[in-house]
Amino acid sequence: ASVYGVLPDGRLTYTAIDAASGKRTHGAVVSTATLGFTPKAMATLNFNTILVTRADSGGMLYRVDVRTNNESLIFEPPVYLGKGYTHELLAYDGKSHLFGIANGTLLRYTITVAKPKLSNITGGTTIGTGFTLKTLTATGPDWILGTTTGGQLLSYRISGAGSWKRYQLRDTTWQNFDHLLSPGGGVYYGHHRENSLHRYFDSDPYDGQGGDLTGQGTVDTSGWSQSLLSAQPATVTS
């Protein structure tokens, strides 16, 4: 599982986690450079491409191109793409769809290349309203997962404008997570507000059932001080 993050001072981090054991196998590697602005939401597209929005900017969207995340984390200056992306949350499903939530409205965009320009982010389809999620990740193509402030864990199958299916996997207990991320394969990571990272496994992430979702302990009990976290989609397969 490949995980990117942003520290409160704007530096990027990269961590690799063995999904089976839950052990970190690389990092966290921390960049020297900062983004140069306060980020609001982020979504990892692939191993060296991240989308980030800028807080208090009218929804300015940037692409971050990572040059290396091995012994050091080096990235190019963020590339400004455009305005209007006022989403509190972003998630990419690893195939072609970027999801964003702004004021409870879920939108879906289509991304056609690995390193998109604004012209490569199309659609902007309104899926629906009432998506008052606290966290958001994608578990696979057109599947998203999120938590509520009341502690519910919810999964959604997205079909198109006005068409989705909601599944309640947990009724309570997930309220302490301020970030949720999935690298695929039914693996979920929940970032606790006290900087621990917890791991879960869903043996069938697309059955809409919570009975096959089990806790797998922690990756680390402390040290995850990132203000944003995002996993590269499909780095873990079932």
Three-state secondary structure along 8-77? CCCEEEEEEECCCCCCEEEEEEEEEEECCCCEEEEEEEECCEEEEEECCCCCCEEEEEEEEECCCEEECC
Q: What average pLDDT does range 15-34 have in this prediction?
A: 97
**In-domain check, residue 49:** yes
Q: How much is the pLDDT for 56?
A: 87
Q: Look up the CATH number of the domain holding residue 116.
A: 2.115.10.10
**In-domain check, residue 183:** yes
Each residue's pLDDT tens digit, 95-118: 999 999 999 999 999 999 999 999
**In-domain check, residue 237:** no
Domains in the chain: how many in total?
Answer: 1
Q: What average pLDDT does range 69-89 have in this prediction?
A: 97
Each residue's pLDDT tens digit, 202-214: 999 999 999 999 9
Its pTM surpasses 0.95: yes
Q: How much is the pLDDT for 13?
A: 98
Give yes or no for residue 238 having a pLDDT over 80.
no
134 contacts: CB under 8 Å, gap ≥ 6: 146, 147, 148, 149, 175, 177, 178
**In-domain check, residue 32:** yes
Give yes or no for residue 57 having a pLDDT over 90.
no
Each residue's pLDDT tens digit, 142-164: 999 999 999 999 999 999 999 99
Q: How much is the pLDDT for 128?
A: 98
Which domain does 200 fall in, by range? 2-231
Residue 200, token pair as written in the block: 């879960």
Q: What average pLDDT does range 29-37 have in this prediction?
A: 98
190 contacts: CB under 8 Å, gap ≥ 6: 147, 174, 177, 179, 180, 197, 198, 199, 200
**In-domain check, residue 238:** no
Q: How much is the pLDDT for 90?
A: 98
